[in-house]
Amino acid sequence: MFSYRHAFHAGNHADVLKHTTLIAILQYLTQKDAALAVLDTHAGAGLYRLDGDYATTSAEANEGIFRLEGAENLCPLLQDYVDMVAAFNHGTTVKVYPGSPFITQRLLREHDKLKLFELHPTDFRSLSGNIAQLRAGRQVQVLMEDSFDGVKKFLPPPSRRALVLCDPSYELKSDYGRVLDMVTDSLQRFPTGTYAVWYPIIPRQEAHDLPRRLKTLANKAGKSWLNAELTVKSSKITAAMRQGDEKRPGLPASGMFVINPPYVLQDQLKQALPQMAELLQQDSNAGYTLESGGD
């Protein structure tokens, strides 16, 4: 249950999509004076060393954030993302990668609240230590509990404004169903919240069904939705890979499904996704899709 460690994948192409979308949502939601509550369901360690053993083992950042470093003529949203990562580093070389807890906290105001859920014991200890260095006081709360049930007690928030970021590892097939159950329950508790779900695009039926079922859920609830997918390479496994002669491909694509998205998000992603696909492509199968619907 606890084998997944995001430290191996920090700064990869999926993080680029997820964190760029997260920044856009938070920039919009923090424009209103009223307090915002952010619930991060799978927070991880919060900060990651890209020159450490975990990250260098997989070297996935080489195909992600490092490809955007120094890139010219980035659209405003991608430039904001690159600048955010750079803000956690000294000098021009990126050695530290901020996960969603630190990106979020950097964009929140003093009266906003951040709830961080993390069940992995090692990552929970790392997250707690990293957050303690912020001296954020009561603004940030770290919780070692199952977020699929834990978010219930925070919805609706007192301010009636909230973002729920849900990005499990999906190592367990049951996570797909639990994501749907959580979003269904959350929309009933707090219909006007913004819900952002990251998901992998892999050759698994549950993964294929998740965005389709989220669309159905949002449509039935009468809510607007936005679905962005980024593909960087083929997902096909060749005969040589099966025999072990070639390394199997890592994650080929991922998506972000947002319910009640900011009205500006679609135009922002229309600019950002083509640049992501171009800069992060690993073969000729790279591309993107952007769909919207609902209210």
For residue 59, the model assigns a pLDDT of 80
In a domain, 207, yes or no: yes
Locate all alpha helices (DSSP H) within 12-99, ordered by sequence: 13-29, 53-58, 65-68, 76-86
Cα 128–Cα 77–Cα 262 angle in degrees, nearest 5: 80
Domain span including residue 29: 6-293
For residue 70, is pLDDT > 80?
Answer: yes
Instruction: Identify the sign of the CA torsion 148, 150, 152, 154.
Output: negative
For residue 256, the model assigns a pLDDT of 98
pLDDT digits 0-9 by tens, 15-62: 999 999 999 999 999 999 999 999 999 999 999 999 876 555 668 999
Spatial distance between the Cα atoms of 40 and 107, rounded to a whole number of angstroms? 14
* Binding residue ranges for S-adenosyl-L-methionine: 19, 42, 100, 118, 146-147, 167
Rounded mean pLDDT, 248-268: 93
For residue 160, is pLDDT > 70?
Answer: yes
Q: What is the dihedral of CA 194, 80, 273, 228, to 10 degrees?
A: -10
One-letter amino acid at 249 equals P
The chain-wide mean pLDDT, for the chain, equals 91
Q: What is the pTM of this model?
A: 0.93
For residue 237, the model assigns a pLDDT of 55
Spatial distance between the Cα atoms of 134 and 128, rounded to a whole number of angstroms? 10
Domains of the chain: total: 1
CATH number of the domain encompassing residue 36? 3.40.50.150
The pair of structure tokens assigned to 269 is 């992603």
For residue 7, is pLDDT > 90?
Answer: no
Q: How far is CA 279 from CA 79, 118, 271, 275, in A?
A: 13, 32, 13, 6
In a domain, 96, yes or no: yes
Residue from 15, 112, 167, 175 carrying the catalytic annotation: 167
In a domain, 1, yes or no: no
pLDDT digits 0-9 by tens, 186-241: 999 999 999 999 999 999 999 999 999 999 999 999 999 999 999 999 987 544 44
Nearest to 192, CA basis, from 278, 108, 120, 295 = 295
Instruction: Identify the sign of the CA torsion 62, 67, 69, 70.
Output: positive
Active-site residue flag, 167: yes
